[in-house]
Chains A and B, each alone.
Chain A
Amino acid sequence: MPSVHFEHVSKRFGATTVVEDFNLDVAEGELLVLVGGSGSGKTTILRMLAGLEEVTEGRIRIDDRDVTALAPRDRDVAMVFQDYGLYPHMTVRENLSLGLRLRKVARTEIERRVTWAADMLQLEPLLDRKPKQLSGGQQQRVAMGRAMVREPLVFLFDEPLSNLDAGLRAQMRIEIGGLQRRLKTTTVYVTHDQVEAMTLGDRIVVLADGRIQQVGRPIDLYRAPVNRFVAGFVGTPPMNFVEGRITGENGGAQFNADGMRFDMLPGRMPTTMPSGPVTLGIRPEDMEVDPQSDGPRNGSVAGRVVLVERLGGTSHVHFDAGPNRMLASVTNERLPAVGDAIDVRINGERAHLFVDDQRVSSAS
């Protein structure tokens, strides 16, 4: 399986820069997820790799082959589209085999590969149906089968699950992940859904405004986001942010915000003390709620409950700590009621400190 390399790739539409100096190496057999909001440039990057969009600057290589100027048909990649892009006038069998027929693959070989893909994706009973006679999930599987039979160098997925309902999306996510691990085909997968990114990706690239924010394993992005954007993007529910200042010495530094005081753990502070405004970031799952407040203690904040969402296994406790609305994700049996004064213990090991939106300290 080949590797994919982006070298200083930029894309501009007129005066608008969509992708800026994008550098990335996708390892052989890796499933790499590009994740970001709309306008982050993730789809444009994928389309440049497919050859559907011209590269303004830089080059793209698949292994040692420079594909920057090649037509899509000469790149030997296969793409699964958001709306699947199935040929509506052809049966499933014809949809699967057209690409091979166009490439003059022998009839027996086409037959073998279609049977193989249909078997792997449970498509046999559907082979003689047309796309509009299939459910969304089945169409999705056909689109994947059409990519598989080609046995391409690289798989490209462009938000393949966005048109499915939540249950099916979770199921297809598992199927895509399993399939990729079995086939070991180098894959670039684009999504705006960070849960999809976290569960599927060997590595994740977080994009914003056409620039890479962070590249890493899902757990690294979760544990050590490099900036406030990544910290807020990765993880559900999202991280709480509180604006404040640092006072005191390095040994006994304290985070101070309106209605909130929090002793920073020694050794979790940057070597130079930030003197200006800072942001404290705490994930909802890194807090513990004590339903009875017995006054402020070290490492905890006092709050008042404004909403409790019971999800079954976990519950979301929304509370106000001073002017800040925060959310704690808890598994307690004893949940506070709306209006209760509570004590929320913050896991100091997992607290993140941001200066100018860049992370300067925290947890390992």
Chain B
Amino acid sequence: MRAERRSGSLMAAPYAAFLLIFAAYPILFALVLVFLKWDLVTTPVFAGADNMRMLATDTRFWRAVANTFVFLSIHLPLQVASALMLALALNRPLAFRSFWRAAFFLPVVISGAVVAILWSNLYATDVGLINGVLVRIGLRPVPWLTDPSTAMPAIAAMVTWKNVGFYVIIYLAGLQYIPRSCKEAIEIEGASTWQRFRFLTLPLLLPQTILVVTLSTINGFQLFIEPYVMTGGGPLRRTYSIVLYLYTNAFAYQKMGYAATIGVALALIIGSVVFIQRRVIGNAEAL
């Protein structure tokens, strides 16, 4: 019994160590930093509630929060709709189905920086592929990343494209679990294709939808690499995300205490948004 317990602890030890060093320690360190002023070079100084007071009145921070919400308001619906539609399409008997599934999953495993550089070229105003197509069909080119009103939507569309394969997998798994007899029963009962989707498929995919919304919310709040590479937060700070602002404070201004405060605030925001989402969607299920 004791030997069994010892070998169990030993086997869990590597992961426990990993967790302590790379998750628990940074979290504790960040919580401590909230009350400190530190520039990475000199000795940290106790700052009391200074960082929190500064955060409350920092218009740049709140601007970044608003920007991130704009991003999510475009990204979330787009992500759910695109993943669901692709999953439905890929769930049908289709020529080269494995190829399509792999193709849509590929962007998930490509580095975010690479994708951002690739899409910068696609979005380029004068030489980009997208505008090339628009011009060819007789439309005017759009300054995707340099116009304040289109920059964030453009980034949202790109992030949606990059992640869709992952969420398609989640939806495909959910589709496997819909009993065949249910699908046949509703077909015999007289449902059209749309009605089958509306009354059977969509409600039965609710657990997957909750998961997709939750994961893409958490992921979306951490928006960083795309604006960092593509826009630097511009134009007119419209793509300045929370994490980009955190990064700037930490490694450009070397305000480690303040950056940690932003990080903790971000964690709290994510936590409360996800909590509200689960409440809302959970209630929808009960209806």
Contact = CB atoms under 8 A, between A and B. Distances in A.
Contact of B181 (A75, A83, A99): A83
B4 interface: no
Chain B interface secondary structure, helix, strand, loop or mixed?
Answer: helix
Interface string B189-219: 1111001000110011010000000000000
B186 A98 contact: yes
Contacts of A83: 179, 181
Given A88-B204, A102-B189, A102-B190, A81 B195 contact: no
Contacts of B191: 73, 102
B265 interface: no
Contacts of B187: 52, 71-73
B81 interface: no
B20 interface: no
Given A82-B181, A102-B195, A87 B188 contact: no
A72 B192 CA distance: 11
Contacts of B206: 89
Contacts of B189: 73, 78, 98-99, 102-103, 146, 150
Interface string A182-197: 0000000000000000
Chain A interface category by residue count? 20 to 34
B106 interface: no
Contacts, number: 64
A55 B203 CA distance: 32
Contacts of B203: 89
A85 B190 contact: no
Interface string A81-103: 11111111100000000110011
Interface in A145-185: 146, 150
B50 interface: no
A81 B204 contact: no
B182 A103 contact: no
A52 B185 CA distance: 10
Contacts of A99: 189-190
Interface in B101-159: none
Contacts of A98: 186, 189, 199
Interface in A104-149: 146
Contact of A73 (B190, B199, B285): B190
A79 B186 CA distance: 10
A85 B182 CA distance: 4
A206 interface: no
Nearest to B203: A89
B185 A89 contact: no
A89 B190 contact: no
Contacts of A85: 179, 181-182, 184-185
9 contacts: A73-B191, A77-B188, A83-B181, A86-B182, A88-B182, A88-B204, A99-B190, A102-B195, A146-B185
